[in-house]
């Protein structure tokens, strides 16, 4: 397996997708190609369409999937652009899809990408797509106080958002904040002493990363539209790693699994809502104890699965 990124819950994902011979599958977040490789290796008649907006990921996936040349198409774009991708690939309906919404090991471990709060000299970047103009440095130095507060509260669920933002505003008046170490130091100085441990910057960094990459923008609409591309009996699998995105996935899947929502007092249905999917399992799957021991990044993973109504 490539060291670029260790895929999470591979066996659970394959079981969730319930691979069909001759099926067409979509991996919207290809990363290091681990899940894509497993899908293609599972059956010699399976075809795959995959996307990722990270240049490094595209390079890695291309090499990783080279043994299956001719059976996959790879696009450098956001999975939310799947409509254009499917059109180019000549794909109508699909047999299954996977969205792994986590950040890749490679992105975290490559200090120059600016994702890791412990990388002191790393630039405040955090872009998954280096073609984008918005960076973490722009967010930290140019967003208004109100905007920063909104981001830290909404995307980071940060208890100490007010004090962190106030110190950011004060520090940037003295000079531009340009490194992960500078931002982490500001955060550490903004929280009560008993909370100043190594991970106290995690929520703020997460919030800024989500803003930079627009991770939650249009996510619900995309999941709904992508799920409607499933063939009868097709499967949708989504891996999440924090409560914000998991809540969105949960709510979309739950809504699509419900039929008529008219009040019970109505003699006939007037809403016209039909059940579109069946939830596969009442609760999300989590990584096995063995995987959690081997890969600490799997500890927060949740896998939700749906099956298109037949």
Domain boundaries, the chain: 10-101+216-308, 109-213
Q: What is the pLDDT of residue 1?
A: 43
Q: Is the per-residue pLDDT at 38 higher than 90?
A: yes
Query: What is residue 73's three-state secondary structure?
Result: strand
Specify the fold of 10-101+216-308.
Rossmann fold (3.40.50)
pLDDT over 90 percentage in the chain: 81
Q: What is the pLDDT of residue 294?
A: 92
Residues contacting 290, CB < 8 A, separation 6+: none
Q: What is the pLDDT of residue 112?
A: 66
Q: What is the pLDDT of residue 232?
A: 97
**Mean per-residue pLDDT of the chain:** 93
Angle at alpha carbon of residue 97, lines to 96 and 102, rounded to 5°: 155
Q: What is the pLDDT of residue 107?
A: 72
- Enter the CATH code of domain 109-213: 1.10.150.170
pTM summary value = 0.92
DSSP conformational letter for 279: E
- Residue 45: CB atoms within 10 Å: 10
- Read off the pLDDT of each residue in 219-245 and give the average, rounded to a whole number: 97
Q: Helix 10-17 and helix 34-42: axis angle, to 10°? A: 50
CB 158 within 8 A of CB 203: yes
CB 215 within 8 A of CB 223: no
Cβ burial, residue 100 (10 Å; 0-12/13-18/19+): buried
């Amino acid at each position: 397996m490539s060291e670029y990124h260790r895929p999470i819950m591979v066996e659970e994902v394959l079981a969730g997708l319930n691979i069909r011979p001759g099926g067409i599958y979509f991996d919207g977040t290809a990363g290091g190609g681990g899940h894509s490789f497993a899908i293609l290796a599972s059956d010699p008649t399976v075809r795959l369409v995959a996307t990722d907006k990270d240049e490094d990921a595209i390079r890695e996936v291309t090499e990783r999937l080279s043994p299956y040349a001719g059976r996959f198409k790879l696009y450098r774009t956001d999975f939310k652009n799947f409509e254009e991708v499917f059109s180019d690939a000549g794909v109508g309906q699909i047999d299954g899809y996977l969205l792994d919404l986590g950040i890749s090991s490679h992105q975290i471990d490559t200090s120059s990408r600016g994702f890791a709060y412990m990388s002191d000299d790393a630039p405040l970047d955090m872009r998954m797509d280096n073609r984008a103009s918005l960076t973490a440095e722009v967010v930290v130095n140019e967003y208004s106080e109100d905007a920063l507060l909104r981001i830290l509260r909404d995307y980071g669920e940060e208890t100490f958002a007010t004090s962190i933002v106030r110190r950011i505003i004060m520090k940037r008046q003295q000079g531009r904040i340009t490194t992960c170490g500078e931002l982490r130091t500001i955060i550490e100085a903004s929280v009560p002493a008993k909370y100043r441990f190594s991970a106290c910057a995690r929520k703020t960094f997460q919030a800024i990363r989500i803003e930079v990459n627009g991770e939650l923008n249009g996510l619900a609409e995309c999941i709904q539209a992508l799920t409607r591309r499933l063939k009868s009996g097709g499967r949708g699998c989504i891996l999440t790693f924090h409560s914000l995105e998991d809540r969105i996935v949960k709510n979309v899947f739950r809504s699509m699994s419900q039929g008529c929502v008219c009040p019970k007092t109505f003699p006939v249905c007037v809403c016209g809502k039909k059940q579109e999917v069946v939830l596969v399992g009442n609760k999300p799957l989590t990584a096995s104890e063995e995987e959690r021991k081997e890969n600490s990044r799997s500890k927060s993973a949740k896998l939700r699965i749906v099956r298109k109504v037949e």
